[in-house]
Amino acid sequence: MRILDISVPLRDGMVVWPGDVPFRRHQTVSMACGNDYNLSAITTSVHAGTHMDAPRHFIAGGATVEQLDLSPFVGPCRVVEIANPLAIDLGDIERLDLKGVERLLFKTQNSALYERPEFVENYVGLAPDAARHLAKIETLKLVGVDYYSIAPFGSAAVPVHEAILGRGIVALEGINLREVEPGDYELIALPLRIEGSDGSPVRAVLIQR
């Protein structure tokens, strides 16, 4: 069995979505200062790094993190590679065999962007028509993209999230698939149980048996 960590490390100075609260870890108790133990505190957006969107993120009255069924976050998963440098469009989706797929992760050129020290606006996301097509796949429970949003930067964010989250599909964002080959795996990407939250950081791993 091989475990592939597809999470982005949470660290001071990391890239976050423009306008979001930056991640910060600070030492509140330190053995270096003569204390008996070390203790840290963090401040962060719940959408920092590798994270999931609950429906409440874009759907008024939608489910919050602790209200979600956990089954979408654990189970068989397919990783597909999209070469389109602009967007994951309807044609890209229609060329895929997604019969019976429950969890779908898109590997794009985005995974190389994590090396950049600044947020990159022209990343690859789902086009609205592609998102609406995915929402019609009855078996689909989770969709993931390898940058900080499943939607392209700008005006497409609302229709893409409404299509995916409105159908109750989990959006897994900020995954790093640079070292992952397309194929079938098992996914574990559990959110923290944050009451009332519109999202949560996750530790996402793929298991290859």
Q: What is the pLDDT of residues 70-129, one digit of tens each?
A: 999 999 999 999 999 999 999 999 999 999 999 999 999 999 999 999 999 999 999 999
Domain range list for the chain: 2-9+46-208
What whole-number distance in Å separates Cα of residue 57 and Cα of residue 54?
A: 6
Which of 47, 51, 57, 133 is an active site residue? 57
- For residue 144, the model assigns a pLDDT of 98
- For residue 9, the model assigns a pLDDT of 97
Percent of the chain residues past pLDDT 90, beyond the cut = 99
* 57 labelled catalytic: yes
- For residue 52, the model assigns a pLDDT of 98
Please report which confidence band the pLDDT of residue 204 belongs to, taking 50, 70 and 90 as the band edges. very high
- For residue 167, the model assigns a pLDDT of 96
Name the percent of the chain in helix, strand, coil, to the closest 5.
20, 25, 55
Digit-coded pLDDT (tens) for 130-170: 999 999 999 999 999 999 999 999 989 999 999 999 999 99
What whole-number distance in Å separates Cα of residue 111 and Cα of residue 125?
A: 12
Percent of the chain residues past pLDDT 70, beyond the cut = 100
Nearby residues of 6 by Cβ (< 8 Å), 6 or more positions away: 50, 105, 175, 176, 177, 180, 204, 205, 206
What whole-number distance in Å separates Cα of residue 142 and Cα of residue 187?
A: 10
Q: Looking at the structure, give the CATH architecture of the domain made up of residues 2-9+46-208.
A: 3-Layer(bba) Sandwich (3.50)
